């Protein structure tokens, strides 16, 4: 019997529905994803004695010279599948316009892919979680990677994808994600940013700068800035920086403020870069530097200082996330003056071209519909958009439509948890403004996901909801049973993120 079977023939042989887009041949075997009664299975059809099929663990039967195997979606099988198909292994994206779709549930990749197909040319990241998100969802970097792998396989997405180890703060975080095969490392030196420098007096700034780790035991060790106050002044003072239409001139106070605020962060980023460089060998990887989770906006002069110092310390990066003007609150549109954002972003883009080029990264990028076009235009496509919580919210929107009872319970619990759970997030939702559930019909519930306060309340409480035994299983089972609706909801929402990025 030939292995060149149609999806329908495979289904009748198997007695189970399969995902037609997943059917892929490698060597002497055909692989596909099947929908079992309880869960998904990796199916393999191969000639008897196939070496390919032997690399996977699962139930197998042999009939008429054919092996038919049904394998659980384990980490080992995911690893073997990545080895069989190069397009399943995450890759670097370089300077292509790109978008990262964090997926806290591990179910969203097919929906993200449906949206990506409607926005051709955008390089996608499907595996993306921070250590904080992993802690709150009880997943490991490997789980996140494998869930993305299965989603990419299900859809037969062969355009390549990246894997973002997001908001890495320590070398230990870097190690666990490097081991899991991540390709895009977002180093967050925010803990080393001195926000107090933002409003410090010049005298205070001079003291802070004098106290920086200028010299270490051996130059190039990454322990020190390998410079001096005099060197720094010579590098930045007494000359204009002309970057296209933007002319930047440091006063001594500007320079000391930039150094006091960011020098230790730059040094930490350089240390993380060196660490990763030593750790990851024999495969490509790329770096993003993010200072978005700090309290004060990054000025143009500060951005220039950061980029110039990173370069001086030998760091190479593909994207940088400054803290922009205005408010990037979770799960809602940009809050602030759009003209001011545009003017400011245009300057950041000029700096990124002059000192890179590198991409400007938009963190907390979910639902910032009013700025995507502005960003894509001014950066001429050198943009990375990062969304993390939107997929969870859209899963809730889908749930509200097919299981209103469960959604009401989750919403009521989120309201209870909000004041506690909001602590580490930029949100301004007020509980009093969430429409009362008991006045809403079931048909109105999905619309709550468009209401500012309800959306933020649901956004920041994901850890509590996913760790509560009352919800977790029902939530996941419901999404699995209604995956077509789930994917369609994600697709609708993410198209609105991705398509504006295509307009350069
Ligand atoms: Zn961020």
Reduced to 3 states (helix: H, G, I; strand: E, B; else coil), residue 23 is coil
In terms of DSSP bridges, do strands 59-63 and 29-35 run parallel, antiparallel, or are they unpaired? unpaired
Ligand 1 centre to CA of 363 (Å) is 4
Tell how many helices (H) and how many strands (E) occur in the chain. 19, 15
Ligand 1 centre to CA of 108 (Å) is 20
Ligand 1 centre to CA of 217 (Å) is 33
DSSP single-letter state for residue 25: E
Ligand 1 centre to CA of 208 (Å) is 26
Residue 30 has pLDDT above 80, yes or no: yes
Ligand 1 centre to CA of 478 (Å) is 30
Ligand 1 centre to CA of 169 (Å) is 12
Ligand 1 centre to CA of 470 (Å) is 30
Query: Which distant-in-sequence residues (6+ apart) come within 8 Å of 411 by Cβ?
Result: 437, 445, 448, 454, 457, 458
Q: What is the DSSP string of 402-426?
A: H-HHHHHHHHHHHHHHHHHHGGGS-
Residue 125 has pLDDT above 60, yes or no: yes
Query: Which distant-in-sequence residues (6+ apart) come within 8 Å of 174 by Cβ?
Result: 165, 168, 185, 187, 272, 275, 276, 279
Task: Spot the catalytic one: 103, 133, 146, 166.
Answer: 166
Ligand 1 centre to CA of 325 (Å) is 14
Query: How far, in Å, CA of 128 to CA of 141, rounded?
Result: 9
DSSP single-letter state for residue 198: G
Query: How far, in Å, CA of 202 to CA of 190, rounded?
Result: 23
Ligand 1 centre to CA of 386 (Å) is 8
| Rounded mean pLDDT, 251-267 | 98
Ligand 1 centre to CA of 293 (Å) is 6
Q: Quick one: what percent of the chain has pLDDT higher than 70?
A: 99
Residue 186, beta-bridge partner list: 288
Residue from 347, 352, 291, 300 nearest 323 by CA: 291
| Rounded mean pLDDT, 212-216 | 92
From residue 460, alpha-carbon distances to 143, 389, 425 in Å are 22, 8, 7
Ligand 1 centre to CA of 390 (Å) is 14
- 315 backbone dihedrals φ, ψ, rounded to 5°: -80, 140
Ligand 1 centre to CA of 188 (Å) is 8
Beta strands in 291-429, from DSSP E residues, in sequence order: 319-321, 359-362, 383-387
From residue 126, alpha-carbon distances to 39, 89, 150, 161, 362 in Å are 21, 11, 11, 6, 16
How high is the pLDDT of residue 199?
95
Residue 25, beta-bridge partner list: 30
How high is the pLDDT of residue 322?
97
Residue 64 has pLDDT above 90, yes or no: no
How high is the pLDDT of residue 281?
94
Ligand 1 centre to CA of 167 (Å) is 6
Residue 150 has pLDDT above 80, yes or no: yes
Residue 68, beta-bridge partner list: 45, 61
403 catalytic? Reply is no
Ligand 1 centre to CA of 185 (Å) is 12
How high is the pLDDT of residue 252?
98
Query: How far, in Å, CA of 272 to CA of 174, rounded?
Result: 8
**pLDDT 10s digits, 71-100:** 999 999 999 999 999 999 999 999 999 999
| Rounded mean pLDDT, 460-489 | 96
Ligand 1 centre to CA of 223 (Å) is 25
DSSP 3-state helix, strand, coil percentages of the chain (rounded to 5)? 50, 15, 35
| Rounded mean pLDDT, 58-63 | 92
Cα dihedral sign, 469-477-144-163 = negative
| Rounded mean pLDDT, 476-492 | 97
Per the listing, tokens 């139930």 go with 59
Ligand 1 centre to CA of 364 (Å) is 6
Q: Which two tokens stand for residue 265?
A: 């962060």
**pLDDT 10s digits, 386-417:** 999 999 999 999 999 999 999 999 999 999 99
| Reported confidence tier of residue 504, pLDDT bands at 50, 70, 90 | low
Task: Spot the catalytic one: 173, 254, 288, 453.
Answer: 288
| Reported confidence tier of residue 2, pLDDT bands at 50, 70, 90 | low
Residue from 496, 472, 441, 424 nearest 139 by CA: 472
Distance of CA 442 to the CA centre of its chain: 32
| Reported confidence tier of residue 460, pLDDT bands at 50, 70, 90 | very high
Contact criterion met (CB below 8 Å) for 378 and 349: yes
- 480 backbone dihedrals φ, ψ, rounded to 5°: -65, -40
Residue 485 has pLDDT above 70, yes or no: yes
166 catalytic? Reply is yes
């Amino acid at each position: 019997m030939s292995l060149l079977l149609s999806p329908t023939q495979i289904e009748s042989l198997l007695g189970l529905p399969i995902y037609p887009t997943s059917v892929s041949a490698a060597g002497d075997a055909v692989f596909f994803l099947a929908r079992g009664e309880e869960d998904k299975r990796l199916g393999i059809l191969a000639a008897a004695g196939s070496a390919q099929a032997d690399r996977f663990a699962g139930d197998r039967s042999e009939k008429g010279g054919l092996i038919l195997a049904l394998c659980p979606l384990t980490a080992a099988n995911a690893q073997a599948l990545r080895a069989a198909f190069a397009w399943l292994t995450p890759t670097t994206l370089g300077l292509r316009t790109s978008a990262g779709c964090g997926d806290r549930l591990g179910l969203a990749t097919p929906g993200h892919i449906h949206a990506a197909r409607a926005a051709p040319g955008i390089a996608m990241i499907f595996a993306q979680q921070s250590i904080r998100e992993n802690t709150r969802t009880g997943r490991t970097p490997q789980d996140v990677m494998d869930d993305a792998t299965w989603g990419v396989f299900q859809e037969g997405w062969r355009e390549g994808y990246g894997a973002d180890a997001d908001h890495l703060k320590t070398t230990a975080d870097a190690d666990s994600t490097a081991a899991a095969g991540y390709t895009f490392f977002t180093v967050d030196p925010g803990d080393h940013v001195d926000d107090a420098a933002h409003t410090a007096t010049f005298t205070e700034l001079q003291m802070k700068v004098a106290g920086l780790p200028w010299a270490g035991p051996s130059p190039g060790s990454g322990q020190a800035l390998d410079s001096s106050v005099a060197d720094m002044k010579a590098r930045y003072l007494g000359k204009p920086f002309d970057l296209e239409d933007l002319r930047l001139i440091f006063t001594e106070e500007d320079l000391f403020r930039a150094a006091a605020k960011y020098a230790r962060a730059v040094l930490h980023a350089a240390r993380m870069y060196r660490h990763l460089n030593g750790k990851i060998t024999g495969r490509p990887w790329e770096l993003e530097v993010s200072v978005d989770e700090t309290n004060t906006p990054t000025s143009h002069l500060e951005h220039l200082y950061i980029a110039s110092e990173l370069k001086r310390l030998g760091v190479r990066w593909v994207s940088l996330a400054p803290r922009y003007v205005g408010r990037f609150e979770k799960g809602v549109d940009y809050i602030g003056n759009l003209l001011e954002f545009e003017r400011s972003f245009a300057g950041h883009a000029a700096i990124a071209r002059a000192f890179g080029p590198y991409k400007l990264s938009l963190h907390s990028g979910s639902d910032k519909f009013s700025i995507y076009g502005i960003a894509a235009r001014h950066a001429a496509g050198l943009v990375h958009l990062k969304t993390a919580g939107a997929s969870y919210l859209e899963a809730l929107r889908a749930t509200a439509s097919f299981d209103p009872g469960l959604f009401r319970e989750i919403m009521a619990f989120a309201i209870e948890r909000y004041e506690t759970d909001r602590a580490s997030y930029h949100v301004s939702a007020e509980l009093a403004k969430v429409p009362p559930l008991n006045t809403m019909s079931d048909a109105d519930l999905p619309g709550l996901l468009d209401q500012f306060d309800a959306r933020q309340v649901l956004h920041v409480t994901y850890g509590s909801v996913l760790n509560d035994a009352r919800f977790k299983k029902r939530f996941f089972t419901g999404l699995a049973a209604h995956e077509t609706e789930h994917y369609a909801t994600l697709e609708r929402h993410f198209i609105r993120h991705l398509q504006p990025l295509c307009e350069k």
